[in-house]
Amino acid sequence: MPFDVRHPEIVQIVKHALEEDIGAGDVTSDACVPAWKKAHGRFVARAPIVAAGLELLPLIYELRGGGEEVALLRHSGDGVEPGDVLATVRGRARTLLACERVGLNFLQRLSGIATLARCYAEAVAGTKCRILDTRKTTPGLRRLEKMAAGAGGVINHRLGLYDAILIKNNHIAAAGGVRPALKRALATGLSVEIEVRTPSELDQALAGGARHLLLDNLTPSQAAEQVRYIAGRATVELSGGITLANVREYAETGADFISCGAITHSATAVDINFRLELE
């Protein structure tokens, strides 16, 4: 998912972030800095990271008032080193100060996700397995966080409950079993994945026409055994208890995908700062 910063949902997120932080006005900058003063600033990486969200910067300044000159020196997905300048901005000092924290909050959070995603993607390099993100995102920020995960090199799984079917254990219980749940889901014509927890559920799913299986909370040896049994009759996704320390072992079981919620729910904000100088 590319960084489509003109998507209405993204524009609304940025508007809300500015309103949340600035409100009726930046009273500190208005009190301390003359309205006529001009300045320029640099967004600088202070650690090795994968950048994400830089494309939001022109939108942030535009929504605050416009007239600022923004130059992006890096883009989402770029690996950068400490001291690298990611973007520069020039304009009214008050505006640059008012937008500083909103810009940094987006860059630090999204680059943290992209950096962790890249770690997972590189950990399984050379296997046939690909890493998927999940719906375990910050409420209201899903589209942005999935854009960041994609920039880091993982595959975006479904965006929400509306664009693909994933039958999990509670759906199976509510539907009355694997077969009725799968039959109704396949009739929709949508992409269908089903979680199976026992050998019996696995056999029922395959017999019912399942082509994408989710296996949850298995050890690597158990996962490898299940993958051998499935023998290509369906694609296999693994999840549950998978970390950077063991993801390679799971990928080498022959699974097609590994989904990892930690990419979005446990990513740490990275160190980026903003350096302002008066002109």
Report, as residue numbers or ranges, the catalytic residues.
101, 136, 168, 195, 216
Task: With CA atoms as reference, report the closest residue to 218 among 254, 186, 192.
Answer: 254
Phi, psi of 124, rounded to the nearest 5 degrees: -105, 10
Q: Do 196 and 217 touch, CB atoms closer than 8 A? A: no
End-to-end CA distance of the chain: 38
> Cβ contacts of residue 125 below 8 Å, gap of 6+?
none
Token pair for residue 167?
A: 């039958």
Q: Which amino acid is at 232?
A: G
Per-residue exposure over 177-192, b if at least 16 CB sit within 10 Å of its own CB, e if not: ebbebbeebbeeeeeb
| Residues 6 or more apart in contact with residue 226 via CB below 8 angstroms | 202, 215, 218, 236
How far is the CA of 153 from the CAs of 26, 134, 142, 156, 204, in angstroms?
Answer: 37, 14, 17, 9, 34
Exposed, middle or buried, 23 (CB in 10 Å: 0-12/13-18/19+)?
A: exposed
As beta bridge partners, residue 130 has: 257
User: Nearest to residue 244, comparing CAs of 147, 155, 118?
Assistant: 118
Query: Partners of 74 in the beta sheet?
Result: none
